Amino acid sequence: MGRSELTGELKDELSGVWKAKVLTLFPEMFPGPMGASLAGQALENGLWSLETVDIRAFARDKHRTVDDTPTGGGAGMVMRPDVVDAAITAARENTEKDQGVKLPLIYLTPKGKPLTQGRVRTLAEGPGALLLCGRYEGIDQRVLDKHQPEEISIGDFVLSGGEIAAMVLLDAAVRLLPGVIGSEASLEEESFEAGLLEYPQFTRPRDWDGKEVPEVLLSGHHENIRAWRRAQAEQITRQRRPDLWQDFEKSQSQADRKRIES
Ligand code: ADE
C-alpha cells in the first residue's frame, strides 16, 4: 500500500499519535538514541511515530548533488534551495494529505532562538514536528525565506549538523507525552518547571562513605521537606544561573503584586 492510499481507519490512528518527521541527509542516524530507553519503548508502543525524509532523494542530477560552494566565496558548502524546497514541500504535502495534520516546521541551527522547556512543552502538546536538519555551512537563505521555519538552537556551540540537535529536541518532547513517563508528579518537580533548577536528590543507604543524607528528608514532615527542597532549588539557581534567577524573581514579584491587587 502506498503512502497516499492509507485507509480511513489507519489515517485516524496515525493522526492521533505525536508525529516526528525529520528531513536529513543522514537518515541512517535515526532513530539512534531515540530507539532506546524510554523514548524507544514509547516508539515501539506507538505513543509517537518517527519518519525520516532523505533530502538527497530530491536531488535531480545524476550525481545527486545537494550542495554547492557559497556564492561570494568562503569556506564549506551550502545546501541547494531547489533540493531542500522539494524535500520540504513533499514532506508537508504528505503529512497534510495522508494524516490530516499540519506540523510546525523547525530548522535546527546555531542561529536559532535558544530551545526552552516552555517551547518543548508547547510542542509536546501539539501534533508533532517537522524537523529540518542542515549540514555544511547551512541552507540557502531563499528557501528559508520561502518556508519560514521556526529556527531553533540547542546552545551556543556549533555541531556538525542539525541531526543531534533534532534528537535533543525529540528526546525533550517525547518524555512529556502522556504515558511515556510513569509519574506525572516527577515531571512537575524537575528543573525549569517552576523556573528553578532542581534540588539535590538522595536515596539509600542513609549513611554512605561516611556521609549522611540530610536529616530533614528522613523526618516524614512533608511541609519541612518541601520548604528545604525549595530553599535548595533557589540557592542552586541563584549560584549557577543568575539569568534564570533574575527571571524567577521577576515572576515572583509579579505574582505577589497580583495577589495583593485581588
Ligand atoms: N546545528 C549546528 N549547531 C547547532 C546548534 N547549536 N543548535 C541547533 N542546530 C545546530
Residue environment code for 74-112, b if the CB has 16+ CB neighbours within 10 A, otherwise e: eeeebbbbebbbbbbeebbeebeebbebebebbbbbbeb
Say yes or no: 127 and 191 in one domain.
Answer: no
| Confidence (pLDDT) at 262 | 81
Q: Are residues 84 and 151 in the same domain?
A: yes
**Residue from 106, 108, 132 whose mutation best tests the ligand 1 pocket (most atoms within 8 A of CB):** 108
Residues 13, 137, single domain; the answer is yes
Q: Verify whether ligand 1 is closer than 6 Å to residue 155 (CB atom).
A: yes
User: Residue 89: inside a domain, yes or no?
Assistant: yes
How confident is the model at residue 176, as a pLDDT? 96
Looking at 143, 174, 205, the residue that finishes a domain is 174
Contact 209, 220 (CB under 8 A): no
Q: Quick check: is 256 in a domain?
A: yes
Q: Is the peptide bond before 31 cis (omega within 30 degrees of 0)?
A: yes
Predicted local distance difference test score (pLDDT) of residue 95: 84
Residue 179 resides in a domain: no
Cell 510513569 belongs to: 182
**Does any domain span residue 233?**
yes
Q: Which of 87, 66, 88 is nearest to 77 (CA)?
A: 66
What is the C-alpha separation between 137 and 184, in angstroms, rounded?
41
Mutation test residue for ligand 1: of 152, 153, 164, the one with most atoms within 8 Å of CB = 153
Cell of 20: 516526528
Same domain, 210 and 165: no
Q: Is the CB of 165 under 6 A from ligand 1?
A: yes
Tell me the C-alpha distance between 99 and 93, whole Å: 10
Within-domain flag for 191: yes
The residues, ordered by sequence, that sit 6+ positions from 94 with a Cβ below 8 Å of its Cβ are: 3, 4
Atom nearest to 160 CA in ligand 1: 2
The closest-lying atom of ligand 1 relative to the alpha carbon of residue 155 is 6
* Whether residue 149 is found in the same domain as residue 217: no
The residue out of 174, 195, 216 marking a domain boundary is 174
Tell me which residue has its CA closest to atom 5 in ligand 1: 110
For the chain, the domain total comes to: 2
Same domain, 77 and 152: yes
CB 21 within 8 A of CB 28: no
Q: Which range marks the domain in which residue 236 is found?
A: 184-261
Q: Is the CB of 151 under 6 A from ligand 1?
A: no
Contacts of 70 (CB under 8 A, 6+ apart): 76, 77, 78, 137
If asked whether residues 170 and 191 sit together in one domain, one would say: no
Protein residue with least CA distance to atom 7, ligand 1? 153
User: pTM for this one?
Assistant: 0.90
How many Å apart are CA 128 and CA 105, to the nearest integer? 10
CATH number at residue 23: 3.40.1280.10
The pLDDT value recorded for residue 195 is 93
Site to substitute for ligand 1 among 159, 167, 168, 170, most atoms within 8 A of C-beta: 159
CB distance 107 to 150 below 8 Å: yes
162 with 242, same domain: the answer is no
Is residue 206 located within the same domain as residue 151?
no
Peptide bond into 200 cis (omega under 30): no
Question: What pLDDT digit, counting tens, does each position of 144-177 carry?
Answer: 999 999 999 999 999 999 999 999 999 999 999 9
Q: What is the CATH number of the domain that holds 242?
A: 1.10.1270.20
Q: Do the domain assignments include residue 2? A: no
Give the domain-ending residue among 126, 146, 174.
174
The verdict on 188 and 153 lying in the same domain is no
Inside any domain, residue 257: yes
Same domain for 88 and 165? yes
Question: Do 70 and 121 belong together in one domain?
Answer: yes
Instruction: Compute the distance from residue 62 Cα to the ligand 1 centre, in Å.
Output: 30
pLDDT tens string for the chain (262 positions)?
333 344 444 554 555 899 999 999 999 999 999 999 999 999 999 999 999 999 999 999 999 999 999 999 999 999 999 999 999 999 999 888 877 889 999 999 999 999 999 999 999 999 999 999 998 889 999 999 999 999 999 999 999 999 999 999 999 999 999 999 976 667 777 778 789 999 999 999 999 999 999 999 999 999 999 999 999 999 999 999 999 999 999 999 998 888 888 8
Residues 9-32 pLDDT 10s? 455 455 589 999 999 999 999 999
